[in-house]
Chains A and B, each alone.
Chain A
């Protein structure tokens, strides 16, 4: 045994100067994020399923309407090309919706208590780690779907288009992650959380412009789709895929007016910020 180990016995005495908050928050956040990635690496089923499901959508739905009369869709695009944007957004959305699950399991199994007993510099590190993890996971999954869509001949947004796609996805992922983390602290257990995820997932997909344009929908559904956050992410991405990378371009003709790319992005930003503000008191209470 080594004998030259320094002692921490006096840790916390007032005289001791505190190391920088940034360094401590970085250390604890990285450690917590690393844990989530180790879990993913050893149980990659979440990653695989998260890519497989949208892939099946893309291939099956794409094939289902492959023979739709040309000229049916606005601009005369093929259905596969149209569907691509929807499935990419759906991929990111589903991944982010699961953000709360690891947190819920930590609550249930008492691992969270281990974190709360530790002298974390900021308990936001716990939330930050989840956000970092789920953001990278959902972006990787979305990129995998984008690559597959490109191989299927559904196109690839070039340069500025790619940047627009990533920014849009990021905003949506932030908003949905906030929602899911809020649910993870508000609901009593993982059964309830999975039930909510299960119920929320598909209706949000159908009541958006992922599978069909607004013009195809009855008036009530058109309204619903026009306030669905997924739509605000799908339309700018669809425009980017169509090679229309202008912030001021009108990408969506909602019943209440025309929306430009900028408007869609602002709505998503406001949604993400609003949701984080909304769940903050809850997190403060649960992590107090």
Chain B
């Protein structure tokens, strides 16, 4: 199978040729790969779309295995929204299995993307459109050596920067407009309203972080999901696991992290909603840092939880972090 990025040119052609009017009063069938993108899609699409979110609340897209029902939903969809940057390791096989003719949109396209080593990189910044493609159905066969769930050259957790979330929203609105021209005004209106909320959120985060002492800004999480938050807002995150939750941290990784925690006088430690808390608990016991609560990194909470929407998630994380540092 060609990687999604390699299929981009074919996809752009499809996006131009795709039908642009929504048939009758039927809602636009949309699949979102995981809960945060699902929340964005709902905010932009409103009641004009019928949304299926594959990896739901508290689900870990790093290790997700799709089900036949996911393939059926993907087959029905006209738009499939994905993060891209190799975040959804399951995606290529799901697209192939479904045989979908949907437009697949990488909503991170055009965002300010960080490389896997954490240094800033404008790799995608010169592109102002979501990457779209029409899948051609070709694919790897089992037994081929797969790329697995590694994230390649880039950190995929771009939504942890609110500025990037704005790009996600714009890309989603554009994708909906291309597929459902009649609904475009509504999508643009919804997107504009949501972006206003994002801008308020961004200001809140910057203000709260500015109030933290500069020498109390190192914190520990389970995996490297907060690189964009660090880059955007000036906290320093350490984690025993890498960009994916799939690979276990080695004993040497943990020992090195514990040394680093002591050297950098880390202020707080947090579990994540998608990872096993035992590793963080072990580091907590070794370092004496008390766990400051749960952060939501790669998935929202369920409706009854504190992070049922992206806006709630970012505010919850901010409050949890600042409270823990203040109490440390």
- Check if A and B associate: no
Task: Report which A residues bind B (CB closer than 8 A).
Answer: none
Task: Report which B residues bind A (CB closer than 8 A).
Answer: none
